[in-house]
Chains A and B, each alone.
Chain A
């Protein structure tokens, strides 16, 4: 599994045609996966979501399990395309966004 699995090849004539919107891919791990109830989901980036903080707020607004799992953002870490990022990091079409608690390996 890599960040590029879900991306379609770039079309050479992409500039001339309407862009094909690539889904964002969300991954959940550890107790976040357990509380949200699934490990992965793919959907088009909501127009109002521009950064990590915006995505987390958008997910919380779904209510239910999402609101519960994402209630305390101090115990949430986010990686975009497999790098740790902060709340201001931009979200773009095709991004792989992983949401998880602080890591406990080793």
Chain B
């Protein structure tokens, strides 16, 4: 299950809903991504997220299907926002539920790593020196590659 939306989301409400009604679920793992301002001369006053409608949904569905193929998940959720956000605002929620914590934690880690390199979103930051597009990080590619190489739940 995934949503692409401009609006904020309520973490407690979303996690509650993910596990409600299925008493075989033993744990829910989650990751929340926030707009960051590292301070310094390039202080970020706001961030705008752009995406590719159509392909975004296609990629999120594929990423989620892959997580469900690799791990025995009872439920999973991705919410990704777009539009203009300010430091401290929530950008993304990834949550996974499973009978066992190992599957939930690993699948949650996998989902955020793959989402960062496969889902077509782009960030543009507003700083005192003007607007700048965030550059992709080599570490993100490396994190996603690790999962590709394992190709199974052992990663």
Residues of A within 8 A of B (CB): 1-3, 27, 29-31, 79, 82-84, 98, 100-106
Contact = CB atoms under 8 A, between A and B. Distances in A.
A100 B133 contact: no
A86 B134 CA distance: 23
22 contacts: A2-B54, A29-B122, A30-B122, A79-B52, A79-B120, A101-B122, A103-B116, A103-B119, A103-B120, A103-B121, A103-B122, A103-B136, A104-B116, A104-B123, A104-B135, A105-B116, A105-B119, A106-B80, A106-B91, A106-B92, A106-B112, A106-B121
A98 B115 contact: no
Given A1-B54, A82-B54, A104-B123, 7 more contacts: A1-B53, A3-B54, A83-B58, A98-B120, A100-B52, A105-B92, A106-B112
B33 interface: yes
Residue from A79, A102, A103 whose CB has the most chain B CB atoms within 10 Å: A103
A87 to B, nearest CB: 18
B118 interface: yes
- Chain B facing A: main interface SS: mixed
Contacts of A103: 116-122, 136
A106 B33 contact: yes
Given A106-B91, A106-B115, A100 B120 contact: yes
Contacts of B118: 84, 103
Contacts of A31: 133
A23 B112 CA distance: 36
A29 B121 CA distance: 9
A104 B52 contact: no
A29 B53 CA distance: 11
A105 B92 CA distance: 9
Nearest to A102: B136
Nearest to A3: B54
